[in-house]
A and B are shown apart, each in its own frame.
Chain A
Amino acid sequence: MIFVNDKDLVVPGEILAEEDFHPGRGTFKEENKICSSVVGLVAIRNKKISVIPLQSKYIPKRGDVVIGEINDIRFSMWGLDINSPYSGLLPASEVFGKEKRELEKVFKVGDVLFLRVIDVDEVKKVKLGLKGRGLGKFRGGILIYITPTKVPRLIGKKGSMINMIKDKTHCDIVVGQNGVVWVKGQTDMERIAEKVIKMIQNQAHTSGLTDRVREMLAELTGEEIEESKEISEDLGETEELEGETDENNNDQSSDEKEEESSVEEDENLPQEIIESKLNFNLKR
C-alpha cells in the first residue's frame, strides 16, 4: 500500500508506504512501514521509494570531484575546506611524488583547487588527489555555492543544463559534487551565470525549470530565444530523474548511477580549462 504520489513533498517521519515496497535513500523502514527521513520530494521507481532531500550537506565519497580551498598547510600535506562536515587532506606526495619541496611555494592558504576524493576512511579522514584530467588550481573566476543535492539538477541530463549556461554566457564552468561551482568568463557574464545557477538551486524542485532557465538566459544575455524543442523534450525526462544521481546515498543499488554522473561531469569540462589547470600536473 502506498500513501504518496511521485514528486510529493514530504517531511521527516511521514509514512510513505507499507509492505510491497523497498526503502530507498532519504527513507527508513520501521516494522512494515517506509517513512521519510528528510524534507524532500518522493521518487517512486519500480517499488523502490526514495526521498530526494531539498537541503543537505555534502558527505565525501570516493571518486567524487570536488572544489576545495586550502585552509591549512602542515608538514607534508595541505588541509582543505570542501564545504562539508569533513575537511579534506591533500598529501604532498600526491603533488610532488617522492620529491621534497616547500608546500607554500605551490599552493597557499586561500587557493582554490579542483580535486578528486581518493579515499574516505572509517574515521572520515578525506584524502584528496590532483591526478587526473582537469584537476588543479583555479586562476581567476568566481565561486558559487549551491546545495549539493541540487548538483545533478544543475548539470542536467548528459550535461544539458550546464552546457546551455556555458553556451549562452561563454563562460567556463566547473561543478564540484560538493556544491561549489567555479565560473570564469567576462565579468558581466560571470554574474549572469551566477544568477541563473542560484535560480536553478532555488527552483530545483519545480517543474518547467529548463524553459525558465532558457528564458532567463536569453533575457539577461540579450540573445534571442532559440527554437530548441528537442532539447526541451529531452530535458523533460531529466526533471523526472532529478536527484537520482545525487551523491549523499546510503543505498547501494543506485551507486552505479552516481558513478555515471561524476564521469559525465568530468568529461564535460571544456578543453581550455583542462589545459589551464594541467600546467601544474605536467611538472611531475
Chain B
Amino acid sequence: MVNKMNIVPEITRKSITHLINNEERVDGRAMDEYREISLETGVISKAEGSARVKIGNTQIMVGTKPQIGEPFPDTPDVGVLMTNSELLPMASPSFEPGPPDERSVELSRVADRCIRESQMVDLEKLCIIPGKKVWMVFIDLHILDYDGNLMDAAVLGAVAALKNTMIPEVKVVDNEIIIDHENMKPLPIREEVVMCTFAKIGEQLVIDPSLDEEEILSARLSIGITASDKICAMQKGGDSPLTKEEIMNAVKITESKSKELMKYLEC
C-alpha cells in the first residue's frame, strides 16, 4: 500500500531533484542501476505463452495467444503480431476503467515496434497459406501494479512470453488447414531485444525511473536494442527537450545495460 498525494508536492519534487543533481537517488540506486528484476515464464497454462515480470514493484502479466487469421494485403506471406496493453485500474489510482487511453496506446505501440522492428520473431515462418491464412500472435500486456517504467517491463515480459510461446503444427491438405495440437513447437525466434528507459531529472539522466521519478521527469527516452546492438526502436516523451549529447549518452549506456537485461531472458 502506497499513500501519496495526487499532485507531486513541491518539496518532494525539489528533494528528489536535489538528490539526483548530486548523483543520488531516493532508493539509493546508482544513476544507471535497475531496480530488482524478476521474470517467470509459463505462469498461465491457458495461454500458449506467458510471463510475469517485475521491475521493482512494477508488475506486468503477459500472455500470448496464437490464432489463425488473414494476412495484411501488403504482406500476404508473413504472420501478424498484435500487441495490446491494458493499464488496469487495479495497478494505480490514476488508471481509469474503460477503453485504452493514450498512455496505454503509446505503451502498446512502442512495445510492438520494438518487437516487430527487431525482427525477433521470424514472421515469414508463420505463413500457412500465402495471401490467405497466417498465424496471428496476440501479445496481451496486463499491467497489474504500476510503480514506474512500464516500457522496459513490457518489452522484457513480451519477449519472455514470446520465447515461451508454443504453437501447434499445421498441415495444409487440399487447401484445408489441419491443426495438430498434439505437436506443439516454439515460435521461430531469431534474436532477442530489450528496452532501456531513461528519465531526465534536473541535469541528469537516470535509468529505470521509479514512479516518484517518473512523476517529476522533464523528458523521457526509451531505447530498444537487439542482442547484436542494433537500435530498433526509440521513443522520446516528456515536456522538455533533450540534447544530442544526452541522447548519445543514453545510447551508450543502453549498449552495456542491455546485456544485463538479456541475462533475465536466458531461461
Question: Do the beta carbons of B9 and A145 come within 8 Å of each other?
Answer: no
| Residues of chain B within 8 A of A138, CB atoms compared | 11
Question: Do the beta carbons of A142 and B15 come within 8 Å of each other?
Answer: yes
Counting CB contacts under 8 A, is A255 at the interface? no
Query: How long is the Cα–Cα vector from A180 to B5 in the complex, in angstroms?
Result: 10
Question: Do the beta carbons of B6 and A71 come within 8 Å of each other?
Answer: yes
Identify which of residues 98-114 in chain A touch chain B, using a CB-to-CB cut-off of 8 Å. Answer: 108-112
8 contacts between A and B (CB under 8 A): A71-B5, A140-B15, A142-B11, A143-B12, A145-B2, A145-B3, A187-B18, A191-B28
Chain B residue nearest to A112 (CB atoms) is: B9
Given A187-B18, A187-B19, verify A141-B11 contact (CB < 8 Å): yes
Which of A111, A145, A187 is close to B4, meaning CB atoms less than 8 Å apart?
A145
Query: How long is the Cα–Cα vector from A83 to B11 in the complex, in angstroms?
Result: 16
* A157 CB, nearest partner CB in chain B, Å: 25
Query: How long is the Cα–Cα vector from A81 to B8 in the complex, in angstroms?
Result: 11
Q: Which 4 pairs, one residue from A and one from B, show the smallest C-beta to C-beta distance?
A: A145-B3, A110-B10, A69-B5, A112-B9
Chain A residue nearest to B27 (CB atoms) is: A191
Counting CB contacts under 8 A, is B172 at the interface? no
Identify which of residues 11-61 in chain B touch chain A, using a CB-to-CB cut-off of 8 Å. Answer: 11-15, 18-19, 22, 24, 26, 28
* A235 CB, nearest partner CB in chain B, Å: 26
| Residues of chain B within 8 A of A180, CB atoms compared | 3
Question: Do the beta carbons of A142 and B2 come within 8 Å of each other?
Answer: no
Chain A residue nearest to B16 (CB atoms) is: A142
Counting CB contacts under 8 A, is B1 at the interface? yes
* B196 CB, nearest partner CB in chain A, Å: 26
Which of B7, B14, B22 is close to A140, meaning CB atoms less than 8 Å apart?
B14
Secondary structure type dominating chain A contacts: loop
Query: Could you list 12 further interchain pairs (A-B, Cβ under 8 angstroms) beyond the known A140-B15, A145-B3?
Result: A55-B1, A81-B6, A83-B3, A110-B7, A110-B9, A110-B10, A111-B9, A111-B10, A112-B10, A143-B5, A143-B11, A145-B2
Which of A83, A108, A191 is close to B10, meaning CB atoms less than 8 Å apart?
A108
Secondary structure type dominating chain B contacts: loop
* B11 CB, nearest partner CB in chain A, Å: 6
* B214 CB, nearest partner CB in chain A, Å: 17
Give residues in B with beta carbon < 8 Å to A: 1-15, 18-19, 22, 24, 26, 28
* B163 CB, nearest partner CB in chain A, Å: 37
* B30 CB, nearest partner CB in chain A, Å: 15
Which of B7, B14, B19 is close to A109, meaning CB atoms less than 8 Å apart?
B7
Which of B11, B19, B26 is close to A112, meaning CB atoms less than 8 Å apart?
B11
Given A141-B15, A187-B18, A187-B19, verify A81-B1 contact (CB < 8 Å): no
Question: Do the beta carbons of B9 and A69 come within 8 Å of each other?
Answer: yes
| Residues of chain A within 8 A of B15, CB atoms compared | 140-142, 190
- Quick one: CB contact mask for A128-147 with B, threshold 8 Å, 1 for yes? 00000000001111110111
Which of A71, A83, A110, A147 is close to B13, meaning CB atoms less than 8 Å apart?
A110
| Residues of chain B within 8 A of A69, CB atoms compared | 5, 7, 9
Chain A residue nearest to B18 (CB atoms) is: A187
Query: How long is the Cα–Cα vector from A138 to B14 in the complex, in angstroms?
Result: 12
| Residues of chain A within 8 A of B10, CB atoms compared | 108, 110-112
* A193 CB, nearest partner CB in chain B, Å: 13
Chain A residue nearest to B24 (CB atoms) is: A187
Query: How long is the Cα–Cα vector from A138 to B9 in the complex, in angstroms?
Result: 11
Counting CB contacts under 8 A, is A179 at the interface? yes
| Residues of chain A within 8 A of B14, CB atoms compared | 140
Question: Do the beta carbons of B1 and A83 come within 8 Å of each other?
Answer: no
| Residues of chain A within 8 A of B13, CB atoms compared | 110
Query: How long is the Cα–Cα vector from A224 to B234 in the complex, in angstroms?
Result: 51
Query: How long is the Cα–Cα vector from A146 to B3 in the complex, in angstroms?
Result: 7
Question: Do the beta carbons of B11 and A140 come within 8 Å of each other?
Answer: yes
Question: Do the beta carbons of A71 and B12 come within 8 Å of each other?
Answer: no
Query: How long is the Cα–Cα vector from A125 to B4 in the complex, in angstroms?
Result: 21
Query: How long is the Cα–Cα vector from A59 to B28 in the complex, in angstroms?
Result: 34
Question: Do the beta carbons of B3 and A179 come within 8 Å of each other?
Answer: yes
* A38 CB, nearest partner CB in chain B, Å: 15
| Residues of chain A within 8 A of B6, CB atoms compared | 71, 81
Chain A residue nearest to B8 (CB atoms) is: A110
* A46 CB, nearest partner CB in chain B, Å: 33
| Residues of chain A within 8 A of B7, CB atoms compared | 69, 71, 81, 109-110
| Residues of chain B within 8 A of A139, CB atoms compared | 11
* A66 CB, nearest partner CB in chain B, Å: 12
Query: How long is the Cα–Cα vector from A147 to B24 in the complex, in angstroms?
Result: 27
| Residues of chain B within 8 A of A110, CB atoms compared | 7-10, 13
Identify which of residues 43-89 in chain A touch chain B, using a CB-to-CB cut-off of 8 Å. Answer: 55, 69, 71, 81, 83
| Residues of chain B within 8 A of A190, CB atoms compared | 15
Query: How long is the Cα–Cα vector from A233 to B198 in the complex, in angstroms?
Result: 50
